Amino acid sequence: MDIIKKGQEYNTKFNFLNLCMQTLNLHPQYVKGEHDEPLGVFLTVSEFQSILDELEELEDIKAADIFENRKDKEFVPFREALDEIKNGLVK
């Protein structure tokens, strides 16, 4: 996952967000209210889908890391491990 590897070079959330926008080729359009307060963001469907794809990959990486760092290193079927993670049984 290129975005994660590149993200390790940055140490602030702001820089990481800028990197995400560049890597995913995002061009958000901001909607502001009457007093210039932020109300929302418009993205194209493909931009939104690329964000969802990256989030899904991050979720998979997190699940793998949690499993790898288990104290009881015994084998657990993948579906059972996912259920344990979703139910908060594994931290």
Tens digit of each residue's pLDDT (9 = 90 or more) over 14-28: 676 677 777 888 888
What pLDDT score does 44 carry?
Answer: 93
* 77 pLDDT above the threshold of 70: yes
pLDDT per residue as tens digits for the range 61-72: 888 888 778 777
Select from 21, 18, 19, 25 the least CA-distant residue to 5.
19
Select from 50, 84, 54 the least CA-distant residue to 67.
84
The SS3 assignment for 44 reads coil
What pLDDT score does 70 carry?
Answer: 74
- What is the CB-side half-sphere exposure of residue 1 using CA atoms within 13 A? 17
What pLDDT score does 73 carry?
Answer: 67
Does pTM top 0.85 for this prediction? Answer: no
What is the total residue count of the chain?
Answer: 91
Select from 28, 26, 56 the least CA-distant residue to 41.
28
